[in-house]
């Protein structure tokens, strides 16, 4: 095994030398600015995701025992499917000319200002608990080889929080090069830990793996089918913490050239974290140590048992460093999220910067909140982990639901990257079931998520009524009466009115005055551009459906236009895919009723 270890380490040296010699490894200059490459954003997220190995394996074991060894691998596969939807979200945001904001911008795009505050609460809960849980884990793992009292450790939690806050206030952050350097060190340490773990597999290890496999298989033979489904949901819900942080890639989309970099980053994470995390969990949970006595320092203890005291100390130091970096990343990410919301709703006092161009007010608010949470939970890793899972899965559910709604309303015509709609629906069902399980078994997390959600929804409703950016867009919208005036001014015996989806190409001659084009839009999605005189964009009022708007326009025309002017109504029929046609099935069902309601008009369905 010593020879194999040497070969593997030499291979890693060769790999990193090759990577470091590559031009534009971490950044590239294009179109007048510097962009991060996929390897840079993947590195940042990978370091965040890897921190979960210090607490997720034991938390999974605490709820489902040794079968967590296999459910962590199953959950890895599920998360890879979730990541494909994250790539699709990146593509959707790019199509809509939205840079930055990640899942918040997407939820605002699809769900609107009020419902998007539910997404904000879930994301903020995730960031807050990432920071606090990482702080606790940094102390427990980083100081595991020292005999320090609980009181000193508790004080250390506040020291880390305010130290990271101070670094952000004076604008000292780790950059992509520093993070990549840490990744190189972490790679050697973790790969050697895995190799050493396999080399030291004992009879106890094989027995533990066999026991876990037996319980895992029994979950799929415990008929009827709804019992099997429940078992799987419990298993996934108990292991979901192992893959926290995957949304961080999407949050960095504004730093990358296009969505394809996001896709490459997620593929990289799938073949690194997606494999390393299950392997670490398998080796640690099957090792010959008393798991019940090492809730907070399982991985350093496993490293000590496997490769000796010095390597255990090395793992502890790596844990402290990477977990503190995770605290910083969470603080920066939550700051950027709050900044995005404050910019949208013009709360300039909150995003005032200091001489170092730091969002110091937001950072201080975050630190105060982290400190309060540490006091409330008394720095308990178990309590924080339970709370963390609720916000994480809630955020996943909102993202997947938003993808479904967007694809149903907009189809795939503008998208380059498309996923299965049926697969997305199945993902949503699985994640929703997981959320229900976690919420019912994690009272602390559920309470925190509910209170934050309630706070932001109430605040969002009040803010959106007076400060919503939709207000200005609604002021410049056209009205049904503008269409009536256009018909009257056309002076034609027959007028063709074409209802078009956003960004569809005009297939008829737009110069003909008897052709009128109408697009109904939501102000949060897009604002009218410079359009031809006979093209009317009309905003859909709140709590009004698309079909109601169409009928309102038809009633206005029927009432104000004399019968001698013939009106032809044209609706588009998507030809991009059968999925798009199925998605518009409900709408077509309502459209088919229109000829009976409005016999005066001629109705056509055109391909587009």
What are the tens digits of pLDDT across the range 183-222? 899 999 999 999 999 998 999 999 999 999 999 999 998 7
Cα separation, 429 vs 86, in Å, equals 17
Residue 272's pLDDT is 92
Q: Output the CA torsion sign for 321, 324, 330, 332.
A: negative
Cα separation, 373 vs 161, in Å, equals 11
Residue 33's pLDDT is 79
DSSP 215: H
Residue 587's pLDDT is 66
> 438-450 burial, b if ≥16 CB within 10 A, otherwise e?
bbebbebbbebbe
Longest dimension (CA), the chain: 94
Q: Delimit the domains of the chain by residue range.
A: 37-465, 472-607
Tens of pLDDT, residues 246-288: 877 887 777 788 899 999 999 999 999 999 999 999 999 999 8
pLDDT at 316 over 60: yes
Residue 14's pLDDT is 94
pLDDT at 558 over 70: yes
Percent of the chain's residues with pLDDT above 70: 89
pLDDT at 116 over 80: no
Please give the helix or strand (H or E) that residue 35 lies within, else none: strand 33-36
pLDDT, mean of residues 98-126: 76
User: Cα-flanking dihedrals φ and ψ of residue 35, to 5°?
Assistant: -120, 145
Cα separation, 37 vs 471, in Å, equals 37
User: Is the previous residue joined to 224 through a cis bond, with omega within 30 degrees of 0?
Assistant: yes
Q: Note the pTM of the prediction, 2 decimals.
A: 0.79
Sort residue 517 into left (φ over 0), alpha (ψ -120 to 50) or beta: beta
Strand partners, 498: 517, 570
Nearest C-alpha neighbor of 57 from the set 44, 43, 42, 76: 76
Lowest mean pLDDT among 19-33, 342-356, 387-401: 342-356
Is residue 326 within 8 A of residue 49, CB to CB? The reply is no
Residue 237's pLDDT is 93
User: Cα-flanking dihedrals φ and ψ of residue 34, to 5°?
Assistant: -90, 135
Q: Output the CA torsion sign for 347, 353, 357, 360.
A: negative
Pick the CATH number of 37-465 from 3.30.365.10, 3.90.1170.50, 1.20.1740.10, 3.30.300.160: 1.20.1740.10
Is residue 397 within 8 A of residue 438, CB to CB? The reply is no
pLDDT, mean of residues 558-571: 89
Residue 126's pLDDT is 81
Nearest C-alpha neighbor of 100 from the set 337, 387, 376: 337
Residue 264's pLDDT is 93
Tens of pLDDT, residues 59-68: 899 999 999 9
């Amino acid at each position: 095994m010593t020879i194999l270890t040497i070969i593997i380490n030499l291979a890693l040296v060769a790999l990193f030398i090759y990577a470091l010699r590559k031009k534009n490894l971490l950044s590239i200059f294009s179109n007048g600015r510097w962009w991060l490459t996929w390897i840079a954003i993947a590195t940042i997220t990978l370091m965040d995701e890897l921190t979960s190995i210090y607490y997720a394996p034991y938390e999974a074991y605490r709820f489902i025992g040794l079968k967590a060894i296999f459910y962590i691998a199953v959950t890895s596969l599920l998360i890879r499917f979730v990541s494909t939807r994250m790539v699709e979200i990146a593509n959707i945001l790019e199509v809509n000319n939205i840079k930055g904001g990640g899942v918040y911008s997407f939820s605002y795009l699809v769900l609107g200002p009020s419902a998007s505050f539910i997404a904000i609460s879930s994301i903020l809960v995730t960031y807050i608990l990432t920071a606090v849980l990482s702080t606790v884990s940094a102390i427990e793992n980083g100081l595991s080889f020292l005999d320090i009292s609980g009181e000193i450790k508790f004080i250390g939690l506040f020291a880390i929080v305010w130290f990271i806050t101070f670094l952000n206030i004076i604008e000292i952050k780790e950059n992509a090069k520093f993070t990549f350097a840490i990744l190189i060190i972490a790679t050697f340490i973790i790969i050697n830990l895995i190799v050493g773990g396999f080399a030291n597999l004992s009879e106890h290890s094989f027995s533990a793996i066999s026991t876990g496999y037996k319980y895992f298989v029994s979950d799929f033979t415990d008929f009827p089918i709804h019992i099997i489904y429940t078992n799987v949901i419990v298993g996934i819900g108990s292991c979901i913490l192992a893959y926290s942080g995957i949304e961080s890639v999407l949050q960095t989309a504004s730093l990358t050239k296009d969505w394809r970099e996001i896709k490459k980053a997620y593929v990289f994470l799938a073949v690194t974290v997606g494999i390393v995390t299950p392997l670490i969990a398998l080796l640690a949970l099957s090792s010959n140590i008393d798991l019940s006595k090492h809730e907070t320092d399982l991985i350093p203890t496993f490293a000590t048992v496997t490769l000796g005291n010095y390597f255990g100390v090395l793992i502890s130091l790596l844990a402290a460093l990477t977990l503190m970096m995770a605290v910083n990343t969470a603080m920066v990410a939550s700051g950027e999220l709050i900044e995005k919301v404050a910019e949208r709703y013009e709360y300039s006092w909150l995003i005032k910067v200091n001489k170092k161009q730091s969002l110091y007010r937001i950072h201080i608010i975050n630190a105060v909140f982290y400190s309060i949470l540490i006091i409330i939970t008394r720095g308990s890793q178990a309590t924080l982990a339970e709370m963390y899972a609720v916000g994480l899965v809630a955020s996943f559910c909102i993202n997947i639901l938003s993808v479904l709604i967007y694809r149903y309303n907009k189809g795939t015509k503008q998208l380059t990257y498309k996923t299965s709609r049926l697969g997305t629906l199945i993902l949503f069902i699985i994640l929703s079931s997981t959320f229900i399980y976690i919420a019912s078994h994690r009272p602390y997390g559920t309470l925190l998520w509910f209170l934050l959600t309630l706070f932001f929804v109430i605040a969002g409703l009040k803010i959106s009524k007076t400060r919503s950016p939709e207000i200005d867009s609604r002021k410049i919208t056209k009205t049904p009466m503008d269409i009536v005036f256009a018909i009257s001014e056309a002076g034609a015996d027959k007028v063709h009115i074409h209802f078009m989806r956003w960004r569809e190409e005009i297939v008829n001659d737009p110069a003909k005055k008897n052709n009128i084009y109408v697009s109904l839009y939501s102000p949060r999605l897009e604002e009218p551009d410079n359009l031809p005189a006979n093209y009317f964009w009309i905003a859909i009022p709140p709590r009004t459906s698309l079909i109601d708007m169409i009928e309102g326009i038809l009633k206005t025309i029927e009432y104000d236009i004399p019968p001698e002017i013939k009106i032809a109504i044209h609706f588009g029929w998507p030809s991009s895919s059968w999925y798009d046609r199925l998605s518009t099935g409900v709408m077509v069902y309502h459209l088919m009723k229109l000829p009976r309601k409005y016999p005066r008009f001629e109705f056509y369905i055109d391909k587009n």
